[in-house]
Chain A
Amino acid sequence: MKSRFEEFHPLVSFIFFVLALSLFILMIHPVFLLLGLIFILMINITYRSVEQLRQWAAFMIISSLFIFLLNPLFNERGRHVLFMFHQHRITAESLIYGGMSALSLVIIMAMFVSYNKIMTPNKLLYLFSKILPQFAVLLMLTLRFIPLMKRRLDEISSIQLSKGISVLHGALNKRVKTGLLYVQVLLTYSLEEAIQTADSMKARGYGTRVRSSYEYFKFKKRDGLALVYLLLLYLLILWGRFNGFGHLTVYPIMESWQLGTGDIRIMLFYCLFLGFPLLIELGGYIRWHILN
């Protein structure tokens, strides 16, 4: 079943993800980052992409550890020296900075997992077709050719196998050569076939008029409202950020990590922004289970 957020116009989901990405980069503050992590995890749970998240987990943990440990090793800035490591100052500032960078990277990677779940190729193509229609057609053709060519490669390799030629056996250079020979057969085969595709496109009148297309997505009133909600909150957060809220200055002198009133106000907007998909789902739940 599709969730309510997935049923929004692609523009809304795309803008949500782009703006959320920029927030994870701009709001470098331990409290904000932790909240961001919680929200992204909740979004991943809501849209059932935990399994995909688990596949990325090892990579995420290793690279964030890498950042966390390397930052203090290469960076000696900061006033609070914790200890010396081979004549190298390990400072509290660099540890905190490394930790925050690592956290920000983890959040961004986790965000891309849910992005890939919600922004299906279908939706991305739709957006492209509005801005760059010809490029979208090209992309669509390519996406259609990829499975076709995989099938052709299977055919080619089984025919070659019957002649005793295979990529799986023999010396390395022979295998590589055979591999590209398959691709070469695929090239000549597909180029000839492509002309037929192109001519049938032309015969059906491609390029004679403005291309019409089946509009799968309609921009409804609620899409407009959602955009206004998201953009308004985003501008408020941005305004706060440029006034120095929601950001922990580490160098040259580290601020206190505690939040002031201005920070708390911005944090509220931040939560309302990132919680948008969750609020939408919650609203749907209330309407269905309580008001019904």
Chain B
Amino acid sequence: MQAKKIIVTSAALLMVALLLYLSFSLQSQYIWISLAIVVLSMLLLLIRFEKRKAEPRELVLLAVLAAIAAVGRVPFASIPSVQPTTFVIMMSGLVFGAESGFIIGAVAALASNMILGQGPWTPWQMAAWGLVGFSAGLLKNSRLMNWTWGRVVFGIVWGFLFGWIMNIWGYFSFTQGGNLFELKSIFTYFAASALFDAMHAASNVFFLVLFGKAWIKILTRFKRKYGLMEFRELSSLNIKPIHKKY
């Protein structure tokens, strides 16, 4: 066990060192180095998830939410560039916390790409949707997220941020190794995607205004009814459980 720990730690350190070395020696290959950083940082959270032995109920719940996030596109097939995936992940993170939110977002992206076909964009999508859930979970107790219009602002920000994260990968692959970091070309590229990002943000707002409260209620009720993720969350926050009577 001790030996395994040493091997794993040294392998991780070696990977980081290699990455640092490569980012100095191969400066023109920034797209691949950025991809490696994305993958390694996600690995960190995945290993953390691995360490914690999850109850079957938690696992199934995470899988159901990830599957709903992935399948949620189906009813919207006839309406272009409207999809509830971001909304579903946001709500899950908000109720079940940052770690669960990240896992749900990453798994939803990975699973839907397993069906639609993988590509170099898979890690970026995993990271982008994972971060949607993660940030929603981090802010779950903040005043912003307990206020409908605060959540709307959050939805707008992520509508654009999601597009920008995907743009970085797109931009890098268009200019790969060309060392042409020019603000002009970056702006052109980002402007081209602005319409799609605005649609994404608008559909987030639409869903949050109409369904946000209902979804939080459904998920919270479910969480309380079956006592899901309760223990971990309370122990980490060091708060005694409150038993409300209904």
Contact = CB atoms under 8 A, between A and B. Distances in A.
Interface of A: 22, 25-26, 28, 63, 66-67, 70-71, 74-75, 97-98, 101, 104-105, 108-109, 112, 115-116, 119, 121, 124, 132-135, 137-139, 141-146, 148-150, 153, 157, 167-168, 172-173, 175-180, 182-184, 186-188, 190-191, 194-195, 197-199, 201-202, 206-207, 251
B76 interface: yes
Interface in B55-95: 55-57, 59-64, 66-68, 70-72, 74-76, 78-79, 82, 84, 87-88
The number of chain B residues touching the other chain, given as a range, is: 35 or more
A105 B176 contact: yes
Contacts of A139: 107, 110-111, 114
Interface stretch (B141-149, B161-169, B202-210): B202-210
Contacts of A188: 218
Contacts of A63: 174
Contact of B68 (A105, A178, A190): A190
A184 B65 CA distance: 11
23 contacts: A25-B32, A25-B176, A71-B180, A74-B175, A116-B117, A132-B46, A137-B59, A138-B63, A138-B103, A142-B67, A146-B70, A146-B111, A167-B76, A167-B78, A176-B206, A180-B84, A180-B210, A183-B68, A184-B218, A194-B63, A195-B57, A198-B59, A199-B57
Nearest to B174: A67
A106 to B, nearest CB: 11
A145 B104 CA distance: 13
A186 B178 contact: no
A182 B79 CA distance: 15
Contacts, number: 183
Given A167-B78, A175-B79, A180-B75, 8 more contacts: A134-B49, A142-B111, A144-B63, A146-B70, A176-B79, A194-B60, A194-B63, A207-B53
Contacts of B24: none
Contacts of A191: 61, 64, 218, 222
Across the A-B interface, give the 9 residue pairs with the lowest CB-CB distance, nearest first: A145-B67, A141-B63, A198-B60, A201-B56, A179-B75, A198-B57, A198-B56, A149-B71, A142-B111
